[in-house]
Amino acid sequence: MNKLLHFGESITGYDVPVLNEREVRASAGILFLFALISFMNSWLLGDFQLTQIFVIAFLIDFSIRIFINPRFAPSMILGRLAVGKQQPEWAGAPQKRFAWAVGWSLAIAMFYLIVLNNVIGPVNLIICATCLTLLFFESAFGICLACKVYNIFHRQQAQHCPGGVCEVLTPHASQKAGAGGLVIVALFLITVGFIAQERFPATDVKMVNTESAAADPAPTSPMGDRDCTPPDWAVAMGHTEKWKLHNNCI
């Protein structure tokens, strides 16, 4: 029974339970992919059914992680399969459990709002954006943002952090971006923005929409008598114009 209800692995040489950081990052990447798909589906199409399904799946997965055993969480199993042949990188389990508790709390909030009460509004967007940010930083950079809050609430400081960030580290010269690196990134973004502005000017789209609106003061969809009045959830999200565009009402 103790092996079933257990959090983390006991590895020789580590004084606290640990988790394989490679599995954690892989599972975060998997969840980020499906979270992004469901979020964009809701944002662009106004269909929240996929988001509701993902919230339920996310909540079940994190409940298994926290209250039973991370080894049995579906996303962790998929992550283990993906990196099974890679050398494990052990990271402290206590701070991961705290970070996952934060994710679980966000999932509970989303479950209450969007699944049980079908509430659509800015609060949902903020929670979704927070989840996406946490998952992205974990999967892309190996940075557990919620873990950084762990030390504030726990007397025992986090140990065995990914990349050794819990210990005093003097970065090698090659690890420093420096002012020159930041200038390169800034010039790159400016160049891409300039090309986008010149090649795809936003004024062209606005002109077409304005002319279309003038030609048809009472737009309707191709279905003829379909009502083009935006629903309440679209107005609450500030999604009015996009809803009209997606429903051919502009």
Contact 39, 120 (CB under 8 A): no
CA distances 65 to 120, 129, 137, 185, Å, are: 28, 22, 19, 38
> Quick one: pLDDT at residue 164?
67
Contact 29, 81 (CB under 8 A): no
- Least confident range from 92-96, 107-111, 169-173, 228-232: namely 169-173
> Quick one: pLDDT at residue 248?
65
Split at pLDDT 50, 70, 90, the class of 123 is confident
Contact 58, 32 (CB under 8 A): no
Q: Which of the residue ranges 166-180, 186-200, 227-241 has the most confident prediction, judged by mean pLDDT? A: 186-200
Number of residues that make up the chain:
250
Chain centre distance of CA 249? 31
Q: For residue 59, give both structure tokens.
A: 């909540």
> Quick one: pLDDT at residue 222?
47
Q: Is the dihedral of CA 9, 144, 62, 53 positive or negative?
A: negative
Sequential DSSP letters for 128-179: HHHHHHHHHIIIII---TTHHHHHHH-SS---S-GGGTTS-----GGG--HH
> Quick one: pLDDT at residue 221?
46
Q: What is the chain's mean pLDDT, rounded?
A: 81
Query: pTM of the full predicted structure?
Result: 0.71
Summarised one tens digit per residue, pLDDT across range 85-106 is 999 999 888 889 999 999 999 9
Q: Which of 118, 21, 123, 110 is nearest to 58 (CA)?
A: 110
Strand bridging mode 90-92 / 18-20: antiparallel
CA 37, CA 69: separation in Å to the nearest integer?
Answer: 27
CA end-to-end span of the chain, whole Å?
61
Q: For residue 96, give both structure tokens.
A: 């991961």
Contact 75, 31 (CB under 8 A): yes
Q: For residue 22, give both structure tokens.
A: 């490679």
Residue with tokens 């997965």: 61
> Quick one: pLDDT at residue 226?
58
**What does the DSSP 8-state code read for residue 117?**
S
